[in-house]
Amino acid sequence: MPHTPIDQLLARTHPYDALSDEDRVALAKVAGVQEVEAGHLIYRLGAPVTALCLIERGQVNITDEHAEVLSILGPGNSFGERGLMRDGIAPVNAITTEASRIITIPADVFHSLIKNNPTARRFFDRTRPAATKQQDITTMAVADLMTPAPLTCRPDTPLIEAAGQMRDRHVSCIIATEAEDGPVRGILTTGDITARAVAEGLDNHVPVGDIMTPDPLTLPPSALVADVLHTMVERGITHMPVVEAGRLAGILTQTDLTRFQATSSAALIRDIVTAPDADAIAKVTAKIPELLVQLVGAQNPHQVVTRLITDIGDAATRRLLTLAEAELGPPPCPYLWLACGSQGRQEQTGVSDQDNCLILSDEMAEGDDAYFEALARFVSDGLDKAGYFFCPGDMMATNQKWRQPLRVWRDYFQGWIDRPDPEAQMLASVMFDLRAIGGAADLFDGLQARVLEAAAGNSIFVAHMVANSLKHQPPLGLFRGFAMARSGEHKNTIDMKHAGVVPIVDLGRIYALTGKLTIANTRARIEAGMEAGVVSGSGGRDLLDAYDLIAEMRLEDQAAQIKRGEKPDNFMAPASLSDFERSHLRDAFVVVKTMQSAAQSGRGYLS
């Protein structure tokens, strides 16, 4: 079989070297050749991409819309696959910097190549599907396990009538609503009938509303079954209504879960709920590194791993609040403990500090702060003992600045929005990730909605937020390398938190702000931003792929550190990766840089 120069080039270039001789010769026959001078624009950002390009000789720069160089490619490098694998549109520019010879592979041939050759598919596709494994119920979405269309009645329905419906449907609960698609007002279980009606000798015609559990805890269909397990264990409940957009979508009960074994994360939470003091809580949270290794080893997606680990931090916080009130007495006025940072976003890993604050009721009287100062110290000290070390920036409820009445918090946010100086931008960035953990949740609901409305409506504030988000840059070096620490303790490593994950977190926050989205989780923000139209489908999918790869590599490196008996951190040595992994990690960083450029220009994606 004769070998042409193109065939010989393909035979010594990955991933084309994985093709059979017959397929490689066939590919060489349909490949084109471009001889171009320096300065030739192979494709322009937003233009159609019709072929995969392979550099035989010369150099090509990949640049963003601001002409900033994202990557320098040389002989043996391929490019153009991102446009071909998405919507056929170039997300960047490709321009030669010297006379070059480019081999072009038509789009249809490229798609056939990645469809029929696993090696080529893995090389060009940045996504990394999870290994085949037995599905763990705790990582399933509630929607996949809940009972849809649960039994309902009005709160004024006589008990005997509701009980008859439960008997006829063979169910253990009935949901009280004012209308079929109205909000959940309460839940009546067989346990409620026994303990609150039969045991007290109430009349059979007493309204359901008199003995039901009002305003029960609910979760959305997108929540994990682990969220239900954790809440049931922590709160001692057996039934969980599932609500979406204010409407009842289903019910998930303990009976639905009895055939499955609870995960170790649920077991840890069970131990935390009964812990008598901070020392006992610390003994439980000391098992988190082992849990992280197990979860990563089971190929769970990063968003599942971090959610389960964050649930443990939430449970520890609420238990410490309960222990604090037991020691200090009941609070003098309503309060709400909130988490920000990674806990607020439900993205905690094996390395987490504490970022928290207290919103106090405007009803608080002079002198009440002494109680909340003591409560904050009790909880923060307990969290530190449990491995959630004190915030280096002192952004904790122990700092009086972050322990204020609701009216002061309103002034804080309004001031940051009206006067967006660098400090205001930093504080606003942290506080937009707030999530209620324990206390009177209604103290935050109205505040969050008003702040998002005001912030999104202030174009100067949004512009400053975007500029602030660009302070964290992906670690891209030239010539397809990484920008690494060159000295010090972490020499020749990449900071996978501040240079890897944080730039994506910042982008997700911008999408949430411009779309007025109350979601705090980064991945959920990107998905919701796509649905709201603040980031395009192509850009969002690319960013999700990049985020998944970066976040999972970070967790895998932490798990490897733990298995070596080391304390996990966020610094990863690229030298520990294979050439394949390094190539894909760098491609992911290029995506992040591209999306940062898009945000800077006010567009969701370069198209």
The reply to whether 477 and 408 lie within a common domain is no
Cα(187)–Cα(86) distance, integer angstroms: 47
Cα distances (angstroms) measured from residue 103 to each of 23, 89, 366, 408 = 17, 19, 77, 64
130: confidence class by pLDDT, cuts 50, 70, 90: very low
Residue type at position 70: L
Q: Would you state the pLDDT for residue 263?
A: 44
Q: How confident is the model at residue 137 (pLDDT cuts 50, 70, 90)?
A: low
293 CB-near residues (< 8 Å, 6+ apart)? 559, 562, 563
Range in 375-379, 433-437, 467-471 the model is least confident about: 467-471
Cα–Cα dist 64/606, whole Å: 9
pLDDT category of residue 142 using cuts at 50, 70 and 90: confident
Q: Are 221 and 285 in a shared domain?
A: no
Mark whether 104 and 216 lie in a shared domain: no
The answer to whether residue 43 is domain-embedded is yes
Residue 458 placed within a domain: no
What pLDDT score does 480 carry? Answer: 62
Residue 430 confidence (pLDDT): 84
Q: Do 439 and 475 share a structural domain?
A: no
Number of domains in the chain: 4
User: What is the predicted pLDDT for the residue at 479?
Assistant: 56
Q: Which of 213, 232, 262 is the last residue of a domain?
A: 262
CATH number at residue 427: 3.30.460.10
Alpha-carbon distance of 40 to 37, in angstroms, equals: 6
35-49, 81-95, 324-338, 424-438: range with lowest mean pLDDT: 81-95
What's the pTM value of the predicted model, to 2 decimals? 0.72
CB 503 within 8 A of CB 592: yes
Which domain CATH number covers 551?
1.20.120
Residues 6+ away with beta carbon under 8 Å from 389: 353, 354
- Residue 486, SS3? coil
- Rounded Cα–Cα distance for residues 377 and 381 (Å): 6
Are residues 401 and 534 both part of a single domain?
no
Residue 455 forms part of a structural domain? no
For position 499, what pLDDT does the model report?
92
186 or 61, higher pLDDT = 186
Tokens of 141: 């979405």
Q: Determine, yes or no, domain membership for 513.
A: yes
Per-residue confidence band for 66, with pLDDT thresholds at 50, 70 and 90: confident
Looking at every residue in the chain, the average pLDDT score rounds to 87
Query: Rounded CA gap, 573 and 581, in Å?
Result: 12
pLDDT, mean of residues 71-86: 82
* Whether residue 342 sits in one domain with residue 248: no
The SS3 of residue 6 is: helix
CATH of the domain at 213: 3.10.580.10
List, for residues 394-446, the tens digit of each pLDDT value.
999 999 999 999 999 999 999 999 988 888 888 888 888 999 999 998 899 88
> In this structure, are 423 and 520 located in the same domain?
no
Can you tell me the distance from the alpha carbon of 65 to that of 497, in angstroms, rounded to the nearest whole number? 26
Residues 230 and 320 in one domain: no
Helices (H), 200-253: 208-211, 225-235
Pair 509, 521: CB distance under 8 Å: no
Percentage of residues in the chain having pLDDT higher than 70: 94
38 occurs within a structural domain: yes
* Alpha-carbon span 372 to 110, nearest angstrom: 63
Looking at the fold, whether 223 and 273 belong to one and the same domain comes out as no
Res 350 pLDDT > 90: no
CATH (domain of 50): 2.60.120.10
Point out the domain boundary residue: 410, 445, 480.
445
2 — pLDDT class (breaks 50, 70, 90): very low
* Structure token pair of residue 420: 């967006």
If asked whether residues 105 and 224 sit together in one domain, one would say no
pLDDT of residue 133: 47
Q: Annotate 410-439 with b (16+ C-beta within 10 A) or e (fewer).
A: bebbeebbeebeeebbebbbbbbbbbbbbb
User: Do both 274 and 253 map to the same domain?
Assistant: no
In this predicted structure, which of 39-53, 111-125, 127-141, 224-238 has the lowest mean pLDDT? 127-141
The structure tokens listed for 597 are: 């450029």
Placement of tokens 């991945």 in the chain: 523
pLDDT score of 421: 84
Identify the residue whose tokens are 């705790």. Answer: 138
> 544 is written with which tokens?
């999700």
SS3 string of 323-379?
HHHHHHCCCCCCEEEEECHHHHCCCCCCCCECCEEEEECCCCCCCCHHHHHHHHHHH
Indicate whether 262 pLDDT > 80. Answer: no
| Residues 484 and 589 placed together within one structural domain of the fold | yes
Domain assignment of residue 131, yes or no:
no
pLDDT per position as a tens digit, 184-227? 999 999 999 999 999 989 999 999 999 999 999 999 888 888 88
Mean pLDDT of 546-561: 94
Domain boundary, last residue among 206, 231, 262? 262
pLDDT at 134 over 80: no
pLDDT in tens, 483-520: 777 778 888 899 999 999 999 999 999 999 999 888 89
Tokens 């900071």 -> residue: 495
pLDDT on residue 20: 84
DSSP 8-state class, residue 195: I
What is the Cα–Cα distance from 342 to 345, expressed in whole angstroms? 5
Sequential DSSP letters for 68-131: -EEEEE-TT-EE-HHHHHTTSB-SSEEEESS-EEEEEEEHHHHHHHHHH-HHHHHHH----PPP
In a domain, 607, yes or no: no
Compute the average pLDDT of residues 230-246.
Answer: 88
Domain that holds residue 10: 5-124
Q: Is residue 457 part of a domain?
A: no
Between these two residues, 72 and 88, which has the higher pLDDT value?
Answer: 88
